[in-house]
Amino acid sequence: MTDKEIREFIPTKFKIVNHTITVKIEECGSDDTLIKYGQWCMATTTITLYRYLLDDKGNEIPQTKEQLMSTFYHELFHCFFDFQSWEQSESDVQALSNMMVEYIDTMVFE
């Protein structure tokens, strides 16, 4: 997906508790030991999403729109939890992001 396509559903910036959060798109989030879909950094108030993952042979595997949305919401919930100093687990944050994506995908307006 191009940046323009991604930016149709992922913002570049937004505010949470009067802090401007920047959302960056980078090419690849994999290294030798870990596959990264995205990350939240409270120190820089930045969410970074990775366009590609690397498989075990070094091939770039593009994230789908659904994966990017889920990753964005996952990192967004980390942001919410951190600003409120709430305890969090990866499973709780992932469950919330999955529910958010499903909610958005299934909204009906009549």
Q: Hey, which bits of the chain come out as E strands?
A: 13-16, 19-28, 38-41, 46-54, 60-62
pLDDT score of 29? 67
The range of the structural domain enclosing residue 10 comes to 3-106
Residue 25 has what DSSP assignment?
A: E
pLDDT score of 57? 83
pTM of structure: 0.89
With beta carbons less than 8 A apart as the criterion, state whether 26 and 48 touch: yes
Angle among Cα 70, 75, 77 to the nearest 5 degrees reads 95
Domains identified in the chain, total number: 1
Give me 74's structure tokens: 């996952």
pLDDT score of 2? 86
* 110 residues of the chain, pLDDT tens digit each: 888 999 999 999 999 999 999 999 998 866 655 678 899 999 999 999 999 888 878 888 899 999 999 999 999 999 999 999 889 999 999 999 999 999 999 999 99
pLDDT score of 95? 95
pLDDT score of 68? 94
